[in-house]
Structure 1
Amino acid sequence: MGLLDPIPPPYDPLEWATRPLPDKSRMVCRSWALQGYGTPVAVYFVYLLKVGLYVGGWIFFCGFSPGLGDPAAIGQWWLDPLAFQKAIVWSLLFEVLGLGCGSGPLTGRYFPPIGGFLHFLMPGTTKLPLLRGLPLVGGPKRGAIDVALYAVLLISLVRALVAPQLDASLLLPLVVLVPLCGLLDKTVFLAARAEHYWVMIVVFAFASPWLAGAKAVQAALWFWAGVSKLNHHFPAVVCVMTSNSPVTRFAWLRRLVYRSYPDDLRPSTLATVMAHLGTLLELAVPIVLLLGDGGTVTTVGLVLMVMLHGFILSTVPMGVPIEWNVVVLYGGFFLFGAHAEVSLAGLASTPLLAAFVALFAVVLPLVGNLAPHRLSFLLSMRYYAGNWPYSVWLFRGDSYKKLERLRKSSKWLYDQLDVFYERKVSVGLVGKVIAFRLMHLAGRALCRLVPRAVDDPNKYEWVDGELVAGLALGWNFGDGHLHDEQLIGALQAQCGFEPGELRCILVESQPLHRQTMMWRIHDAATGELDRGEIGVAELRQLQPWSFDDAADNRGNATIG
């Protein structure tokens, strides 16, 4: 097996594709448990190289400022405030270009490995405007104004990065342009990881000193990520990540995180304990660091931080937020290590800015945890929890070919993979995405919902909404709200699916205070067919392949 060859599944993928859905799901989930996605070894080196280019880009742009940028003397300047500011601005540029989260094969993006600017600079591509119906900019297709505004954002970011100092004249355009691009297409705002980088830039622009505000934002990232795991979803995430990690390629170890491989793939006691310890660690990091004053407590907090992000990075999670984890680690050392003496109370000197930071660091995450259907999981800071909104798109026959009517930056999934592999290998890789979804606790709702959506699943092509968003929007990163009814409507207007040709199952996150998850079933041509809720307790009893008895659970919904 070559460096570019994925680990072959223990079955013939072409024969697997002809099996009934319960058999297919059982086979692919058992394969994931021991093999993960089957990522080729060379792919990990590519991601490692990309991290090196990311860090190298930061060093390069720091070099435009006196006293910064010399790689040989990095130990003398890496904790300089301007170096940190440039790291944030560079990270925003890196992400909004599509080079960071949501890039490469671990997000179903094979050729080209990025979307981002390839899509956002192309007139006629699909977008998701917040101001729907507004003349010139409120339609489902990107126009000249959208492209021009995005290009101005890129130019403004580069202009700030090559400047010797960052002042209001360089930061204020970014403060305005990022949300303005988001109004025209919310995909761009989310791709920029604005809940982190843009909020930080606002703090840089309107606070002097700005360290207290930056600390509040970074502490919120950790805290709410920990809060989001106070549920039953995270143990399944531990299973999925352990089975896919390049550093845990031992079958005996991967079996330990399941109750009884291969018959019971629910999380074992070990996986559950690991999940609880991980949650405790994520909640402890901001608390300990905020209590530290530069002494032993700060050192303990920094060690905990390295443990947390070291584990995440070692698993190379699907969605690959690798650079984001790197800059969060750097921010921890700069904000809480080098400036441990700075208190959040410093925000009191700028009441308006304090209110702004509180909105993004407290209010929106709280709303997003209590009413997740109203807010992106990124703005809610619910990272790595497994409790995300998602969708599955079911295309009848070859109706997926109608997507070719779209103007987009990448081809259909198998056409991308055919550049590298024979179709047998391509089917095996794309099939693993089904396992990724079903192995998570929330994904097991599909065992009940797929039979409600279609009479015969074997007549439909199962495509995860994440992959559809990647094709149609140029970016995807775990946010099911990017591929909900708004995208369905935008694609229906351009593709013209007939009734029954495209059925979409949309599942919402579990609210923090409830033990149910809302779901909807939508036909692209005729609209909503059914909606309801499913209990998390029921999902915990299901295996990822429990479709066999699901036909008896369809209820009274009328499916045309």
Structure 2
Amino acid sequence: MALLRPLAPALGATHLVPIAALVPVLAVADRTIFLALRAEHYWTTVVVFAATADWIGGAKAVQLALWLWAGVSKLNHHFPTVVCVMTSNSPFARFAWLRRRMYVRYPDDLRPSRLALAMSHAGTALELGVPVVLACSTGETAIAVGIAMALALHAFITSNVPMGAPIEWNLMVVYGVFALFWAHPGAYPFDVGPPRLGALLAIMLVAVPLLGNIAPGRLSFLLAMRYYAGNWPYSVWLFHGDSYRKLDRLVKAAPWIYDQLGRFYDRATSVGLVGKVLAFRLMHLQGRALPVLLPKAIEGPLHEYEYLDGELVGGLALGWNFGDGHLHRDGLLRAIQDQCGFAPGELRCIFVESQPLGGAKMAYQIHDAASGLLDAGELDVRELRGRQPWAGP
């Protein structure tokens, strides 16, 4: 009901304060709901609306932070693999020669090419440049330049239809750049009004994203504003034999993935479709750890296990997923084990954390549902850069 009240013709604090108050309460009860609401973006803006009648400056600050931290999150070696996979998989990049040019030597060397590297660096510079230009602009010409940069950035992203990306986010920030910066050129982005609101924005727009980038294991990549940079936490769930049937003891949002696909396709086609998720993971820099980690996690050949990306497990068990491996790591594993009772060896999970900003390694853990932690360590990103997507045993 609180979400429906703002549909009133005229909005006021009485409509917005309940939302601003309820969202953090929901976060305490279930962080999945908090993240699904995209609270780092929309909730923070709602608080600005509710806290002051002169909300333009605060809303601008939120918008600038989204671009800035999204750009900062791409200052690593992960983003070039995002660009080459996204571009070569785009429904609009119909030229075979362009798709092949994304890789060093297709199909023998599938690491990012110089063209992919150049595109990734240009995209990072553009994403960092947009907030700098708009934050420093007062005249119409300078603001128009910043808006043109934002349009170029989001038009490229949207036209590639990247898998799993929030296209809604790209549309909203384009709307915001006109509604805030073009329509209100004189409003200073950091004139946020009440000191308490300024303190909250400093926490949400500076402290929280900074912590999430430096110590990614502590916060969701959404709160860290590390959007579609390829540096995501992820998990892989490995069910031995038909042990996955024990998931039927859960109250799930949907049936087992192959039961869903089996209504439309034969088994071979279903396996091929789910295999695209594995291929997508392996094509990114982070996924090249799997040829190293899979032999550590399982006992016997891989074909004896049902391989499922944690995103799909999150969709089944939680009803939502968004590339956030924190939602389907050891906490969810323990909750599922309490209800499903997997025997030792029946369910093994690989949890890989993001690379910290300025760091050179990615932490990982391997768990058995019944026995607990089996192995933990770190992966050298420099070593992964030299690997092919599916090189290894």
Q: 2:245 aligns with which of 398, 401, 421?
A: 401
Q: 2:103 aligns with which of 258, 266, 270?
A: 258
Query: Could you tell me which residue of structure 1 aligns to residue 167 of structure 2?
Result: 322
Q: CA–CA distance in 1 between the matches of 2:125 and 2:165?
A: 23
Deviation, structure 1 residue 414: 1.5
Gaps of 5+ in 1: 1-154, 549-560
Q: How does 1:132-531 map to 2 (within 5 A)?
A: 155-161=1-7, 163-347=8-192, 349-456=193-300, 457-531=302-376
Deviation, structure 1 residue 344: 2.6
1:360 match: secondary structure: helix
Count residues in correspondence: 392
**TM-score w.r.t. structure 1 length?**
0.69
Q: Deviations over 1:225-279 (max 9, x none)?
A: 0000000000000111112211013322111000011111000000000000000
Task: For 2:289, give the aligned amino acid.
Answer: A
Q: Deviations over 1:47-96 (max 9, x none)?
A: xxxxxxxxxxxxxxxxxxxxxxxxxxxxxxxxxxxxxxxxxxxxxxxxxx
Q: How does 1:23-38 map to 2 (within 5 A)?
A: none
Q: Deviations over 1:179-222 (max 9, x none)?
A: 11111110000000000000000000002201111111110000
Q: CA–CA distance in 2 between the matches of 1:331 and 1:184?
A: 31
Q: Deviations over 1:473-512 (max 9, x none)?
A: 0100010000011100010011111101111000000000
Q: 2:389 aligns with which of 536, 540, 544?
A: 544
- Tell me if structure 1 keeps the 8 A contact 2:281–2:287: yes
Deviant stretches of 4+, over 4 Å:
none
Task: For 2:346, give the aligned amino acid.
Answer: E
- Tell me if structure 1 keeps the 8 A contact 2:253–2:315: no
Task: For 1:287, give the aligned amino acid.
Answer: V
Q: CA–CA distance in 2 between the matches of 1:488 and 1:294?
A: 54
Q: Deviations over 1:13-64 (max 9, x none)?
A: xxxxxxxxxxxxxxxxxxxxxxxxxxxxxxxxxxxxxxxxxxxxxxxxxxxx
2:4 match: secondary structure: helix
1:421 match: secondary structure: coil
1:170 match: secondary structure: helix
- Tell me if structure 1 keeps the 8 A contact 2:355–2:361: yes
C-alpha RMSD of the superposition: 1.0
- Tell me if structure 2 keeps the 8 A contact 1:313–1:322: yes
Q: CA–CA distance in 1 between the matches of 2:190 and 2:275?
A: 51
Q: How does 1:17-166 map to 2 (within 5 A)?
A: 155-161=1-7, 163-166=8-11
Deviation, structure 1 residue 323: 1.4
Q: CA–CA distance in 2 between the matches of 1:379 and 1:504?
A: 25
Deviation, structure 1 residue 294: 4.1
Q: Deviations over 1:373-393 (max 9, x none)?
A: 000000000001000100111
Task: For 1:380, give the aligned amino acid.
Answer: A
Q: Which moved more, 1:519-528 or 1:313-322?
A: 313-322
Q: Percent sequence identity over matched residues?
A: 62
1:346 match: secondary structure: coil
Deviation, structure 1 residue 527: 0.4
